[in-house]
Amino acid sequence: MQSLLERFLGYVRFETRPDDSNTSSPSSLTQMLFAERLADEMEKIGMSEVTLDGNGYLMATLPANNGSGGTIIGLIAHMDTSPEAPSANINPRVFPDYDGNDIVLNSERGVILSPSEFPDLAKYKGQTLITTDGTTLLGADDKAGIAEIMTACEYLLSNPSLKHGKIRIAFTPDEEIGRGADNFDVKRFGADYAYTLDGGGIGELEYENFNAAAATVSVKGRSVHPGTAKDTMINSIMVAAFLDTLLPGKERPEHTAGYEGFFHLYDIRGSVEETVMKYIIRDHDPVKFADRKRILNEAAESARAKYSGAEISITMRDQYFNMKEIIEANYPIMEAAIEAYRKAGLEPVIKPVRGGTDGARLSFMGLPFPNLFTGGHNYHGRYEFIPLQSMEKAVEVIINLCTSVKESSE
């Protein structure tokens, strides 16, 4: 566990926030610098075929040691962290033997991680928790996945008595802005099937995810001196606020769970002259997903009718789709994961992803991709935490999956 802890603490200190306004891949230089650091580490621990392309996709091989070919399994995690929360100067904190009480993350700012607000904390009494310092996110999404994959690979390389087939590894950029699979070369990766390490709490196993779209709503108004504004000013902020109220109030992330979809306004910037709102739209059901996009367009039409002088435009793009149908057609890979969990002493908690992974898009590119847990909680914010013991179990599951290839190829 010490090696896993040190590796993770080192990784999260790399600032790898993506930049959605940059069309390059990767969208930020920091992701490429982190990839270079990981490539060096891969070579040092003895992995082969380590390649880092110009788009920031890092791939490597854990060579087979079972004397036969057989199935090639893939493992993937992403290098970027959420653009929605501060992510520079991350200073993780470690709490061994957590006592089950409130954790003061930052006394100056009054940031407290409390089981009264986050009941999952109570499950981890007596374990080692890794948290933020209350000023940034932690970055366990998905630095935990990277640390777990790297630790499992190092363990297998150090223990050649554990026989396994060829394992392919990939670390990708820009997953958090929906572009993680844009330049992924499935043929070059060369796996028969794969798993993303990009899930939540211990034991979770996922093969259903949201259908996802991103939308930018631009509202242009008319600025006039407020003293002479009657019947002349069009305040774009008020137009934008009105448009947002036309969306179903209870269909937002803070009011939904399970299979319930949502509209999420995650960024708004404006003045009287112009306001820009950024939304993500999510639903597991494809019909309801299409309906949500229609609802947003109709809200814009209603706002135009009420504020006739306002200019309202919407740009919308699909990001990824529900991989359920692909995985169900290849269900033996789920059965292999279930067996790996049980061998690690875990009963799988099969549930839908209330988000997305690179695996969702890659599944539609011909590479089926269920999603495994990393162990983290409260992703994308300053209340993020991860128990070290959950990370250790994720490593154990990875090792079980890799060594199960040996059994099927002999």
Burial zone of 119 (CB within 10 Å; 0-12 exposed, 13-18 middle, 19+ buried): exposed
Q: What is the largest CA-CA distance in the chain?
A: 84
- Residue 2 — very low, low, confident or very high, per pLDDT cuts 50/70/90? confident
Question: Mean pLDDT of all residues in the chain?
Answer: 95
The answer, yes or no, to whether residue 408 has pLDDT greater than 70, is no
In the predicted structure, residue 178 carries a pLDDT above the cut 90 = no
CA 397 vs CA 124, 231, 332: distances in Å: 19, 66, 16
Domain spans of the chain, in order of start: 2-209+322-409, 211-320
3-state secondary structure of 317: strand
* CATH homologous superfamily for the domain 2-209+322-409: Zn peptidases (3.40.630.10)
Residue type for position 128: T
Question: Residue 374 to residues 37, 265, 328, 392: CA-CA distances in angstroms?
Answer: 21, 27, 22, 9
pLDDT digits (tens, 9 = 90+) for 20-68: 899 999 999 999 999 999 999 999 999 999 999 999 999 999 999 988 7
Output the pLDDT for position 405. 64
Catalytic residue numbers read 80, 175
* Mean pLDDT, residues 164-180: 94
The residues pairing with 51 across neighbouring beta strands, listed in sequence order, are 59
Mean pLDDT of 246-274: 96
Non-local CB neighbours of 294 within 8 Å, separated by 6+ positions: none
pLDDT at 355: 79
What CATH number matches the domain at 211-320, 3.30.70.360, 3.40.50.10900, 3.40.50.1010, 3.40.1390.20? 3.30.70.360
Rounded-to-integer distance, Cα 79 and Cα 143, Å = 6
Q: Which residue type occupies 245?
A: T
DSSP structure class, residue 316: E
In angstroms and rounded to an integer, the radius of gyration of the C-alpha atoms of the chain is: 23
Which tokens hold the place of 282? 């999510």
**pLDDT of 409 above 60:** no
> Tens digits of per-residue pLDDT, 212-251?
999 999 999 999 999 999 999 999 999 999 999 999 999 9
pLDDT one-digit tens code per residue, 349-397 = 999 988 777 888 899 999 999 999 999 999 999 999 999 999 999 999 9
How sure is the predictor about 294, in pLDDT bands with cuts at 50, 70 and 90?
very high
Q: Tell me, what's the pLDDT at 176?
A: 92
Task: Count CB-CB contacts under 10 A for residue 109.
Answer: 11
pLDDT (tens digit, 9 = 90+) per residue, 72-129?
A: 999 999 999 999 889 999 999 999 999 999 999 999 999 999 999 999 999 999 999 9
Q: What is the pLDDT of residue 357?
A: 75
- DSSP secondary structure of 174-209: -GGGT-TTTT--HHHH--SEEEEE---STTEEE--B
Token representation of residue 275: 């306001």
What are the helix and strand counts (H, E) for the chain? 10, 17
pLDDT of 268 higher than 80: yes
Of 391, 357, 385, 392, nearest to 371 by C-alpha is 357
CA 210, chain centre distance (Å):
12
Burial of 2: CB neighbours in 10 Å, binned 0-12, 13-18, 19+: exposed
